[in-house]
């Protein structure tokens, strides 16, 4: 409880493995190890049983009809690549057009780019200032040769929740496949592939307090049954969709992590929403001229993304050594370009560089949030004052502490 330094507010980048998940995994590294494809002995049989049980739990978690609709991968990046390239290459003779959105994760956007180089056509839809896709834009973009629409469930930077059910309904109507990257959504908000008309869904364990290195792709098997060309050729594991020995312990941990999230999804969402709202209220009380990036309502409970005009997000982060925060997508923070998501919702380059992403999660306490709010307020004030002081005629705003 209370303050635990350093304070982790970057839960969209990754989450710590829950100790209960680690406990569930541990025996599968040692006495219960085995290759689930070994059909001739008890080590293999036990491993296979554990994998199938995990597959059932994951299928149930997203409302899939059958466990066989879950295919294990190394993570969401691989799932996105497998979904897009796998489907596109399997259906290319009949349909060659894909639709996605400007705010998607690079795993989706770059896969689309690779498919364009193979001769596919890709439409990248814009989003409104709130970060939401207009389902009517999806409807209008669909043509006779459209194969698939890919729209993420929850954005990893601004946390917005896209209208999946509306888009899924349109895709159904027009006989187009629907893929969603749900890495940020599963375990945080209700996700149901039937209710949303989703045909392919990407997810991974390390965003929901499970181990890094394991993910899954949901692939609908009935109405319609989806074909897919594999990315990896080899032993034919996972019904030929994804060859490679299954990481038994990681898979067991993945299922345990999802179940723990679902077990108190509502209570945890309410707790995080209250903390997040408290953070936003405090920041607004301490600073003028803030801008909330992304829709205020349709967003993940643990996400707050704020532009602080007059401040450099990277400088704020550098000065807050005891807080783990991100200035944009962690996936692109090795590159200095401003976030493509913030640019897509209409922020100038300067405002994008003035934006901080707060990703709240399971371990965070009220005391931590209060402390971080105070620190951010102080840093932003200091930066704004320095700027004002450095300009001719500036310096009027005196330090008030
Ligand atoms: C984290 C994330 C990914 C990439 O997941 P990896 O586990 O790094 O492969 C893809 N999409 C979204 C929305 C994410 O949040």
Q: What string of H, E and C letters represents the secondary structure of 62-78? A: CCCCCHHHEEEECCHHH
Residue 68 has a CB neighbour count (10 Å cut-off) of 15
Return the pLDDT at 370: 97
Range 7-15+264-387 classified under CATH 3.90.1150.10: yes
Cα-Cα-Cα-Cα torsion 91, 174, 140, 126, nearest 10 degrees, comes to: -60
What are the tens digits of pLDDT across the range 194-227? Answer: 999 999 999 999 999 999 999 999 999 998 999 9
Which part of the chain has CATH 3.40.640.10? 19-262
331 a catalytic residue = yes
CA of 286 to the centre of ligand 1 (A): 33
Instruction: Name the band, by pLDDT with cuts 50, 70 and 90, for residue 394.
Output: very low
DSSP string over 295-351: -SSSB-TTEEEEE-TTS-HHHHHHH-TTEE-BSS-GGGTTS-SPPHHHHHTT--HHH
Which part of the chain has CATH 3.90.1150.10? 7-15+264-387
Mean pLDDT of 370-375: 98
Coil, strand, or helix at residue 219? Answer: strand
CATH of domain 19-262: 3.40.640.10
CA of 366 to the centre of ligand 1 (A): 27
Mean pLDDT of 179-183: 98
Q: Which of 160, 207, 247 to mutate to test the pocket of ligand 1 (most atoms within 8 A of CB)?
A: 207
Ligand 1 atom with minimal separation from the 79 CA: 9
% the chain with pLDDT above 70: 95
Return the pLDDT at 375: 97
């Amino acid at each position: 409880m209370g303050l635990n330094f350093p304070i982790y507010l970057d839960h969209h980048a990754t989450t710590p493995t829950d100790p209960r998940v680690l406990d569930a995994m541990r025996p599968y590294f040692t006495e219960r190890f085995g290759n689930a494809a070994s059909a001739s002995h008890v080590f293999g049989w036990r491993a296979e049983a554990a994998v199938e049980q995990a597959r059932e739990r994951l299928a149930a978690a997203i409302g899939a009809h059958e466990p066989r609709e879950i295919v294990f991968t190394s993570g969401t990046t691989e799932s996105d690549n497998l979904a897009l390239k796998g489907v596109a290459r399997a259906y290319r003779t009949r349909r060659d057009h894909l639709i996605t959105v400007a705010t998607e994760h690079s795993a989706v956007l770059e896969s689309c780019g690779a498919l364009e180089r193979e001769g596919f056509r890709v439409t990248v839809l814009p989003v409104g200032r709130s970060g939401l896709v207009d389902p009517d834009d999806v409807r209008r973009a669909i043509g006779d040769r459209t194969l698939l629409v890919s729209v993420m469930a929850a954005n990893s930077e601004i946390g917005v929740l896209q209208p999946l059910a509306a888009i899924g309904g349109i895709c159904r109507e027009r006989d187009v496949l629907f893929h969603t990257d749900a890495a940020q959504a599963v375990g945080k908000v209700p996700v149901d592939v039937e209710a949303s008309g989703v045909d392919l869904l990407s997810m991974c364990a390390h965003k929901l307090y499970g181990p890094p290195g394991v993910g899954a792709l949901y692939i609908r098997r009935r109405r319609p049954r989806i074909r897919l060309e594999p990315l990896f050729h080899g032993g034919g594991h996972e019904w030929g969709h994804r060859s490679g020995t299954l990481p038994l312990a990681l898979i067991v941990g993945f299922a345990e992590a999802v179940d723990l999230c679902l077990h108190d999804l509502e209570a945890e969402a309410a707790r995080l929403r209250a903390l997040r709202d408290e953070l936003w209220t405090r920041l607004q009380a301490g600073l003028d001229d803030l801008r909330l990036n992304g829709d205020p309502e349709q967003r993940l409970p643990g996400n707050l993304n704020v532009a602080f005009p007059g401040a450099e997000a990277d400088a704020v982060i550098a000065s807050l050594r005891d807080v783990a925060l991100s200035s944009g997508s962690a996936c692109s923070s090795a590159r200095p370009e401003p976030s493509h998501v913030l640019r897509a919702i209409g922020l100038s380059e300067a405002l994008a560089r003035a934006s901080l992403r707060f990703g709240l999660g399971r371990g965070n306490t009220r005391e931590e949030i209060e402390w971080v709010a105070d620190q951010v307020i102080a840093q932003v004030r200091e930066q704004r004052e320095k700027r004002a002081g450095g300009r001719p005629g500036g310096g009027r705003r005196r330090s008030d502490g």
